[in-house]
């Protein structure tokens, strides 16, 4: 039975993409699926509703910004799996509203808030995942698949930003770029042991993040969508969570050290086409 640990699943109650990663992997009763969540009670309720016979599913309380809770999660995971772990999917993260619609110059008009938001983004999206990887690598070393994946964003692509002139979401993009570098550094250290570290962007997914946008904000959002259509004619708008996660899981299944995927940052297509 392959074992998976997925972070961020409890946010899936409000973020369908994060829940969908868990749901699709949990559909196979041969998988041992461990969820690291902040809201254990609510997640257990939702899991029981969708998987009434889910004896292969395990919910662990934890927060990637709380180092002690991560240490406890390692202990509980060892008890569940017997010591190893095959797949780690770092799915937890924060997508702020603060910088979603404005360029960095506008954000700089409130320097204190910019600094607070930036520090929080780096703490969650980058530093928290560094702690997560460091603590769970000993389990991955004892696993069979030996695969670690971080869910990133095409917004962190240094090619895409200037090409499409994407001004918005600068702080979020910076935090994801930092995550990508961390993943590459882990790969540089552990590829020789056969452990695959990768960053994957799921593409643009319809998760409801823009439902509360003002008409003025939607105007800027529409301009970004137009630039996406210029980037690739096949882009027809945000993908469903089901389709996006299917694509990412296909990349996860095919990726390997032998194919040169270690430390790479790819899209849901398994290449550098982000949309």
| Count of all residues that appear for the chain in the document | 275
The single residue of 172, 192, 231, 259 carrying the catalytic annotation is 172
Asked whether the beta carbons of 149 and 80 are under 8 A apart, the reply is no
Task: Please state, in angstroms and rounded to a whole number, the distance separating the CA atoms of residues 19 and 17.
Answer: 5
Q: 125, 159, 128, 152: which is closest to 248 by C-alpha? A: 152
Q: Is 172 a catalytic residue?
A: yes
User: Is the sign of the CA dihedral 129, 131, 132, 133 positive or negative?
Assistant: positive
- What whole-number distance in Å separates Cα of residue 156 and Cα of residue 228? 15
Please tell me which residue in 11, 176, 236, 269 is annotated as part of the active site: 176
Sign of CA dihedral 210, 207, 201, 91: positive
Query: Residue 34 pairs with which residues in a beta bridge?
Result: 5, 58
CA distance 155 to 167: 10
In the chain, DSSP finds a helix count (H) and a strand count (E) of: 10, 7
The residues annotated as belonging to the active site are 172, 176
């Amino acid at each position: 039975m392959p074992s998976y640990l997925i972070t961020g699943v409890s946010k899936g109650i409000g973020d369908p993409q994060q829940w969908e990663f868990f749901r699709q992997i949990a559909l196979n009763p041969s998988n041992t699926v461990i969820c690291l969540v902040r809201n254990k009670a609510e997640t257990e309720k939702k899991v029981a509703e969708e998987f009434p016979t889910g004896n292969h599913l395990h919910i662990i309380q934890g927060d990637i910004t709380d180092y002690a809770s991560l240490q406890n999660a390692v202990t509980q995971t060892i008890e569940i799996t017997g010591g190893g772990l095959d797949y780690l999917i770092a799915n937890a993260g924060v997508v702020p509203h603060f910088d979603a619609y404005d360029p960095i110059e506008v954000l700089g008009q409130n320097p204190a808030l910019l600094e607070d938001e930036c520090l929080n983004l780096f703490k969650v999206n980058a530093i928290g995942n560094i702690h997560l990887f460091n603590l769970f690598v000993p389990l991955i070393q004892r696993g069979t698949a030996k695969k670690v994946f971080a869910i990133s964003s095409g917004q962190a692509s240094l090619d895409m930003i200037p090409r499409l002139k994407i001004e918005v979401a600068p702080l979020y993009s910076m935090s994801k770029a930092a995550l990508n570098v961390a993943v590459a550094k882990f790969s540089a250290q552990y590829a020789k042991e056969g452990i695959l570290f990768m960053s994957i962007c799921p593409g643009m997914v319809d998760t409801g993040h823009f439902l509360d946008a003002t008409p003025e904000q939607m105007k800027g959002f529409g301009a970004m969508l137009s630039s996406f259509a210029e980037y690739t004619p096949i882009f027809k708008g945000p993908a469903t969570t089901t389709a996006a996660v299917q694509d990412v899981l296909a990349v996860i299944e095919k990726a390997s050290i032998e194919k040169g995927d270690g430390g790479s940052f790819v899209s849901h297509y398994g290449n550098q086409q982000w949309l």
